[in-house]
Structures are given as C-alpha cells and as structure tokens.
Structure 1
C-alpha cells in the first residue's frame, strides 16, 4: 500500500508551520508521530494534498509539570510522558493510561497531542483529557485559542481543530486534594484498541467519604462519555457504596454500538464492570480504606 501523492513541507518553527497550514487550508495535514496518519494515508482513507511535518520544531517537544497540572507539547511522545517522573508525581493518571496505549514501539513515536487530535473514541488519551476537564491549545496565524475537552471532541475521528490551525499543546489539570485516579480496559490482545475502557476519578472528603466521582468511558460512543457518579456513590465510604447501583447508572448512561469485536449488550455490561473496578482503584489511590471486592 502506498499513500496518495502530496506536497511535503518541513517547517523549523511554529510560525513557518502556521504559514504553511494557512496556505494549504483544508488540504493540509500535520505530521507529528504519524502512528495514526500514516496507516490512513497508506489505506487511502485520507488524501491530503499537503503534508506539514512538524518534527523539526524543537520548541513543541515539551512536558511541563506544575502544581496545577501538566502541559504536554505537540511533539512529546507517549513514552516520554509515560516515563516523566515529574508528570507522574503531579498527575498519576497520565502514566496509568499511557501504559495501556498500543505497544512500546508505537509509544516511542506517537504523540499525546496527536492522539487527542485524531479523536479516536477507542483511544485512552481523549478519555483522560475529558475526565480531567482539560483543554487543547490551537494556534493559527494571528492568534491562538484554548478549547475545552467538552468542546474539542466533536465526533468519531473529529475534533474542533479547523483549517489552518495547529494543536501546539494540551493541558491536563490536577484534580482536587484527596483525589485518586485509575484506568482500566479490556482488549482482545494487549496493545489493541479497547473493547471497553474506563478512566475514573474519585475525590474524598475529610471523613474519607466519596465527595465526588466520575468516569470517562472508552469505546462506547462517538467521543469519550463522561458520567458523574457522585450521587450514585451516595457520599459514603467506598466500602459501603452500593456498587451494583453504580454499575447500573453507568450502563444507563451509555449507548454503545456492536461490532465484530463485541455486541452492544456485552460492551454495555463490560463498561459497568470496568467502572466499578476503576472507581474502587481510584478510591484506594485517594487514600480510603480497603474496598471489598
């Protein structure tokens, strides 16, 4: 398989990249890690007439961990973010999720921001951004804008990025104090896209009761599905939560499709199971007492 013909641009600065994207408009496509784009080109599922390779723009290869969150530049590879001790210390969910992204060879090349722009509803990083209420910074000639996750993912493989825009970074905010996170998924083989997956966030009050809980579901909709489960958890200690009711609330909140990998009903059931598993792990990570299995 070979890609369709295209004109190749190799900018060495953000300004050069933005100029190339402004010139090519809807006919231009950005190449960063290429782990999603190159297969699409080879299968002729994408046919841009211009390819803008940003790999020579060193200023985009950044990971900035601050007390309030982690900002990841457009050229930060999955593996680099996964290995970042500073990022993991500030936001453990990044490492928890990235360990499940594809295979090591793909994580060595693929980028976090590229995964967000690709907007695959079966991918891990869009769910992480959606769960945390993060954002993506988009630049274009003449300015930039910060787009919240709730507005960024507009459909399967569709995001709010417009012609002439470049996603230069993503921001993952830190949850409130006494919060814990977890990520789990089920795939046919390790490294495959998840049949169903779950990112979970639990925040405890001073008495170690669940004050807030929410999940972001993977592979059950056209975009990550975020569900607030605070009421279902009932502001109780994790050990006394009615987890069957929590699972039922998750299943009621999704409308999955069936495919060759799983029926809709199996995916719905599995999502409920994974939600309970991830929430229990998140509660433990938040510092609560042991949770009965």
Structure 2
C-alpha cells in the first residue's frame, strides 16, 4: 500500500521546525529516519497532512564526547554506534546494543532520537536511556527544557514530548573505567521485535560486585531500571549463582504485558534468563 497524500516541509533549524509544528498543529508530523512512521503511513494507520523533515537540521546531528557524558543529537543514525563513539565503557555498551537493532539497512536510516520519541517498549535505545539515567533536551514554543528519563516515558508509545515540541538531544552519563557492560535480547529471529531484553553494567573488584546498573525492556509498557536489585547485588560475588538469583528476584518485581509477538506469561519466563545472561556478560567484560 501507499500513504495518503501529504505536504512536505524541510526546516533547517530547530526554531523553524517549532514554528512549523505550531502552524500545522495536530496535522503536522515530525519525520527523521521514518522507519516506524512510513510503514504506519503505508498501511494508513497514520495519515498526517504534513511531514516536517528534520534531517537538514545540523545542530541535532552527531555525537559530542563530553568529559562526563555523551551528547547525542536526535537525528544521529543507529549506524553511528557500530564502532565505539567514546573510549569509555559506555562506548562499548552502545556498540553491543546497536547490533541487535532490526537489520543493517534500517540501522543506516533509523535515528536515536526517533527511537526514543516513538517509545516502543521493545526499543533497545529506550532501555539504554532508562538504565543509564539519560536526560532529554526538548524544544518547544517556550524554549528548551530538560527532562530526566524517569519522567520521560509515560507508557507505550507515549512520552513527555508535547505535540508542539521536538526532542533535540539526549545526554547519556558515562561509565567510569573498570566497569563492564552486558546486553542480552531474546527474539524469535534475528532482527525481530524483542520479547525480553536486559542491559547490565557492573564494577567488579576481587570477584565481588562493587557497583551495578540493571535494566529490563520489552516486557512491560516501557523499560524499567531495577534499582532495588542493583543495591541487592552490590557486595555479593560475581558468580552465576548470584546472577540467577537476581534474575529470579526480578520476576517477582515486574509485570509483563502480551501482544501478537508473545504472551505476558512467555515474557515472564524470559525475564530471569535475559537478566542473568546480561549480568554474566557484564562481569566477563569487567574482568
């Protein structure tokens, strides 16, 4: 199928894009990579009257390696992270994660900010943002504001970005040297939507966990950071037994939702496995 007819605008600045959003209101839709929007338009699930293409806005493209964080422009392609964009452990983490996003052609076009704006529960970048405590820079008619990731995701496909606003940049805190990272995703086939996935970061000294970050995605309405389990595993040995126990404990803390890809019950069965495997990868990386 083909999309319904639409008009097309291509701003060259954030200010111009915000003006166009105000002009077209609910009938205007931002497009960047288009990897989610265009299929929806082809099936007539979305019928915007005007597309506002932000690919020519230079100020929201690329990655800046800052002393304590990465600043990622919203229009930065997934493929940017095929190789580490920073020498710190965060760079290795992003490279591990990006290999699981859809397929190679999609990674060449899809964008980091588009993924966070779409807010699919199975989005790998949404899980990264949640687990790492990202900060979102959102621009609108009243200027810019920063929103912590804990206040950003409002539910499945729903975020704190208003209809007249634009997600411009994402800031990811860096991990200190000595941390290891792990990511494990389960899907029916390579490139399919994830049924469950986990992201982990560990600091291990003398075989003992001294610091942890742990997130779970593709199970509920949006990704979750499991801070209680981070505290629980700190001070415990970095062993398979500990990781299995943490995975089992997570099953008692989260709730799952089902869809055409997998039932809630099936996803709950996967929770312990993806967490234990992500933690094992992180411990190996830290070593």
Distance 2:207 2:174 in 1: 19
Shift of 1:225: 1.8
CA contact (8 A) 2:89 2:179 kept: no
Residue aligning to 2:144: 144
1:99 aligns with 2:130: no
Residue aligning to 1:262: 262
Residue aligning to 1:291: none
Q: Map 1:25-104 to 2 at 5 A.
A: 25-86=25-86, 90-104=90-104
CA contact (8 A) 2:133 2:150 kept: yes
Scaled by the length of structure 2, the TM-score of the pair is 0.92
Q: Map 1:277-292 to 2 at 5 A.
A: 277-287=277-287
Change (3 A) 1:88 1:51: farther
Distance 1:241 1:29 in 2: 49
Shift of 1:89: 5.9
Residue aligning to 1:168: 168
Q: What CA deviation, in whole Å up to 9, does each residue of 1:149-195 have, x standing for no partner?
A: 11111111111100211111111111345322211111111011111
Distance 2:18 2:263 in 1: 43
Shift of 1:211: 2.7
Scaled by the length of structure 1, the TM-score of the pair is 0.90
How large is the Cα RMSD of the aligned pairs?
Answer: 2.0
Q: Map 1:143-222 to 2 at 5 A.
A: 143-204=143-204, 207-222=206-221
Aligned residue for 2:96, secondary structure, equals helix
Aligned residue for 2:278, secondary structure, equals helix
Distance 2:231 2:88 in 1: 29
Give structure 2 stretches of 5+ with no counterpart. none
Aligned residue for 1:114, secondary structure, equals helix
Give structure 1 stretches of 5+ with no counterpart. 288-293
Distance 1:84 1:144 in 2: 29
CA contact (8 A) 1:21 1:165 kept: yes
CA contact (8 A) 2:89 2:175 kept: no
Residue aligning to 1:6: 6
Distance 1:260 1:73 in 2: 33
Shift of 1:208: 4.8
Distance 1:222 1:216 in 2: 14
